[in-house]
């Protein structure tokens, strides 16, 4: 089901990109990168997407956007479910239930961001 959430995030990002050309570069980048993102480990996704390092590849400082802007909301609608997928895999591999708490936190953050998307 998490992969479905990622796909919903990708679809939303692409739709918003088509409606807001000024945001298209960021949103198409995150949509194009979604499946590669799910293959990262937790440290990798944290640095690349949660900390914004991936955006350096396209010359964008994601920090210039308000944390609850539609752009960041759509980015997070892809990144947080992808992070949940990675954490679920780590839980399955290690049996450490702390990863399930992270999954819950990731999904809660997605819902918070979605509340700010028109």
pLDDT in tens, 28-39: 999 999 999 999
- Going by C-alpha positions, the residue among 112, 92, 106 that lies closest to residue 2 is 106
pLDDT greater at residue 2 or residue 106: 106
Q: Residue 80 and residue 13: Cα distance in Å, rounded?
A: 14
Count CA within 13 A, CB hemisphere, residue 35.
3
- Model confidence at 118, pLDDT cuts 50, 70, 90, reads low
Q: Report the predicted TM-score, pTM, of the whole model to 2 decimal places.
A: 0.93
Write down the mean pLDDT value for the chain.
94
- Of the pLDDT bands very low, low, confident and very high (cuts 50, 70, 90), residue 111 is confident
Q: pLDDT digits over 90-100, tens only?
A: 999 999 999 99
- Average pLDDT on 75-89 reads 96
Q: What is the domain partition of the chain in residue ranges?
A: 2-114
């Amino acid at each position: 089901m998490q992969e479905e959430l990622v796909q919903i995030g990708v679809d939303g990002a692409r739709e918003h990109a088509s409606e807001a050309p000024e945001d298209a570069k960021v949103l198409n980048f995150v949509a194009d990168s979604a499946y590669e993102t799910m293959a990262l480990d937790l440290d990798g996704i944290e640095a690349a997407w949660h900390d914004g390092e991936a955006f350096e590849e396209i010359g964008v400082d994601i920090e210039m956007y308000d944390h609850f802007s539609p752009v960041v909301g759509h980015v997070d609608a892809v990144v947080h479910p992808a992070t949940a997928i990675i954490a679920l895999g780590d839980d399955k591999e290690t049996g450490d239930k702390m990863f399930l708490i992270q999954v819950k936190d990731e999904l809660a953050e997605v819902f918070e961001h979605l509340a700010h998307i028109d």
